[in-house]
Amino acid sequence: MKKMKLGLVSIMLILFYSCKSDRLQTYEIEDATFVSMVISELAFQENLNQRLALTDDPALVQWSKKRKENIQNYINELKLKTNLAGLSLSGVALTVQQFELMNQLSELKGLALKSFLLKQLVNSDQEMIGLHVKAIGARGLKNADFREWADSKISFWQSHLNESQVIKL
């Protein structure tokens, strides 16, 4: 009986300390690393939005303008959070994978092009959500204020994702 009580107490202590994960957290991500990852993905989104604006679908053209404005507002907030006044998407190189995806667009037309663009925007929105979730995780951003901001932006990217997923072609 005593062994069972001791075992229960031990399990409870383990659970208590594992639930208090803030004691075990070692934040690792520097602000500049997070910004670099985010800016790369935003540059890809900008390229997708530009291509979307060239389609023959007025609703998609309007939606691409809205996305562009929303992303610019996000970048403006990011500039304020990081004190990087010169932060811009111009001159940001796409990754090899992003570049290849953009090249695939040149081969598509009509509905196939629109479907491909929407699929890539969904994937990119999911990537942005993942970057923000990583930023607030146990090994996330070292800067607590920036971590809180990243947490507050998850809903922004989730709404972008939801819009991307409900577009009907």
CA 169 to centroid of chain Cα atoms: 25
Contact at 8 Å (CB) between 113 and 95? no
161 contacts 122 by C-beta, under 8 angstroms: yes
- CB 114, CB 56: distance < 8 Å: no
Where do the structural domains in the chain lie, given as residue ranges? 25-166
Minimal CA–CA distance to 131: which of 51, 3, 44, 58?
A: 44
Angle at Cα 39 formed by Cα 63 and Cα 168, nearest 5°? 25
Note down pLDDT in tens along the chain; length 169 residues. 544 444 444 444 454 444 444 445 688 999 889 999 999 999 999 999 999 999 999 999 999 999 999 999 999 999 888 877 677 788 888 999 999 999 999 899 999 999 999 999 999 999 999 999 999 999 999 999 999 999 999 999 999 999 999 987 7
CATH, range 25-166: 1.20.1260.10
Task: Evaluate if pTM is beyond 0.85.
Answer: no
